[in-house]
Structures are given as structure tokens and as C-alpha cells.
Structure 1
Amino acid sequence: MTPAPDKKQDRRPPYQHAADELRRDIKQGRFKPGEQMPSVRELQERFGVANMTARSALNVLRDEGLIYTIHGRGSFVADVADRTGEFTIGYNPPAWYLAKKGKEEPDAEVEEGEPGNESAGSSLIELLAALRDEIRALSAEHQELRREVEALKKAQQPPPS
């Protein structure tokens, strides 16, 4: 059977289709920064794909910096967009996205004798990314400690008479 001639087939792997849809959902605000992403099982059902395919879609988004994962908790939307909806300095969208949007920025030229701002900017970005990751880890640890405190409080309560 041959496909209809007016339809152009997309030969990309299914995980890329899923990643594109999830990226679009994040960009359009359906998933807010800090909000938990659907589980792998939910993504399997939504896109009709296998477990590893759903995981691969999440890996693409993680590699792009759109989401982060906390082991044992799930994947969460990273805070990458400013109020205008444009991506912020710490996010590097894929090349195909930039080409499609026509937003490829030419490399800035540094005049002779001027210190390069890229190294200062990149070290600042690396520092901010490290701080962000540390805050996320501390936040997850804080939530775990709160649960432990609640469990201890319940254990210390006298049984009902």
C-alpha cells in the first residue's frame, strides 16, 4: 500500500515526535516551571509508544535543559522561559529549532585587546546552573525530611481510646 501523494511522511523516530509535542506543551505553558511531567507510563499511553521510547523523549528534553529529573520522584519542568516566552540564557535550544525560528545569532566578534566576554558569561552560567541544581537537590531533601517528620509525629500520637 502506498501513502497518499499529498501527505508528506515524517521519517523521524517516534521518540522525537513525542519530544516535539512535549516541548510544544512546555513552550505553550501547558506544563509550568516546577510542575511534574507525566510519568513514563502516562507518556506510553498518550503517544502509544514503548517504555524506552517514552524515556528517550524525556531524555531529549533533559539534554536540552527543558526538564530535570529527581531520582525516585520524576521529571519536572525547568524554569527556562522568561515572561516574554523566549528562552533564557541557560537554555540552548536545538539547532533545528533555531533554524526554523530564524533566530540563529551570529558569533560576536571580540576586538583585539578586549577581554572575551564569552568566558566570563559561560562561567557565570555554569555557576548559576550548579546553584540551581543544588537548590533542587536541597528542595527534594527538604520534602523528604518533612515526610519523615510527619511520620514520626503520627507514630508518637497515642492510640485512640
Structure 2
Amino acid sequence: MTPAPEKKQDRRPPYQHAADELRRDIRSGRFKPGEQMPSVRELQERFGVANMTARSALNVLRDEGLIYTIHGRGSFVADVGGAAGEFTAEYNPPAWYLAKDGKETGPEERAGEGESASSTVTEMSLVQFLTELRDEVRALSAEHQELRREVEELKRAQQQGPRS
């Protein structure tokens, strides 16, 4: 009787294993767009790897456009239309962008320093404009999550009452 063939060991570095697992979690919907990813420490524990290995796994996902990082806050799942992190062909520009008469409100109110939004938008491509807008929304989403956490902490502290 011949012995069962041994499993061939995967020779990929551990950070690639971790990145693959996290990528599967993102694509399966376990981590939703805008949701904060586990911390580096949590990834260390989950995968049994060193700090730099966990960071390298996150760097791979960031390079692929699946996550983005806000310094001091953490990494968050990107809201991408396509697999490569690009906007999809089905994208429809918002009404304020398409409006020529300027009656609808939108980023033109925030254009600042004497610039009109129409000149700002025409100077850069639509994809560049949307990329900047997406980054701004991501930052606001992260701030929103942080504020929600703070509110929850305040509620818990209030429920515990004053400490004597």
C-alpha cells in the first residue's frame, strides 16, 4: 500500500496568506464598504503573525484599492465599483454636476477662494474629481464612525452613573 501523498507546503510569505484571507472576507461581504478593518494587533492574533507581517497584509490590500487608511484612525474597506478600484461604466454623475444653470446645489458652494465648481471640474477629468470626492466621503465616513463610538462611550458612562 502506498502512503498518502503529503500536502505540498505553500511557499508564499505569511503576509500574502493574511492578505488573501482578508481579501476573501471583503469580497464575501463580511467587511462592508466604509467599515473599519480589524486593528493590526487583532490581525496579529488572528493569523499568528508579527506586527510588520500584519501591516504588510494591509499594505497589499491598500495597494489593490480594497482598503484605505486614515492616519490615527485605522483602515477601512473601500467602496469600489470595479474589481480594480476604479469607477464602473454604469456610473451616473450627480444632478448638480450635470446642471448647467447652477440652480442645483452641490460642491460649487464649497469651491472656495473665488473658484467656481464648473471651472474646477472642467480643469480636471471627471474621474479625478470623483476620486477626490470619494476620498472626502471616506474621510467623513471615518469621522462619523469615530463620533458614533464616542456617543456610545458617553451613553455607557451615563448609564453607569457617577462614581463615588
TM-score by length of 1: 0.59
Matched, 1:8 2:8: yes
Q: Tell me the amino acid that sits aligned with residue 18 of structure 2.
A: A
* Distance in structure 1 (CA, Å) of the matches to 2:69 and 2:136: 13
* Map of 2:28 onto structure 1: 28
* Distance in structure 1 (CA, Å) of the matches to 2:75 and 2:24: 16
Q: Tell me the amino acid that sits aligned with residue 35 of structure 1.
A: E
Q: How does 1:4-153 map to 2 (within 5 A)?
A: 5-81=5-81, 87=83, 90=86, 123-140=125-142
Coordinate RMSD, CA, aligned: 3.2
Q: Secondary structure at the match of 2:11?
A: coil
* Distance in structure 2 (CA, Å) of the matches to 1:28 and 1:143: 22
Q: Secondary structure at the match of 2:29?
A: coil
Q: Secondary structure at the match of 2:86?
A: coil
* Distance in structure 2 (CA, Å) of the matches to 1:137 and 1:11: 37
Q: Secondary structure at the match of 2:68?
A: strand
* Distance in structure 1 (CA, Å) of the matches to 2:147 and 2:47: 36
Distance 1:8 1:58, change over 3 A: same
Residue by residue over 1:117-143, the C-alpha shift from the partner in whole angstroms, topping out at 9 and shown as x without a partner, is xxxxxx433321121112223444567
Distance 1:53 1:88, change over 3 A: closer
Could you list the runs of 5+ residues in structure 2 that have no partner in the other structure? 88-124, 155-164
TM-score by length of 2: 0.58
Q: Tell me the amino acid that sits aligned with residue 68 of structure 1.
A: Y
Could you list the runs of 5+ residues in structure 1 that have no partner in the other structure? 92-122, 152-161
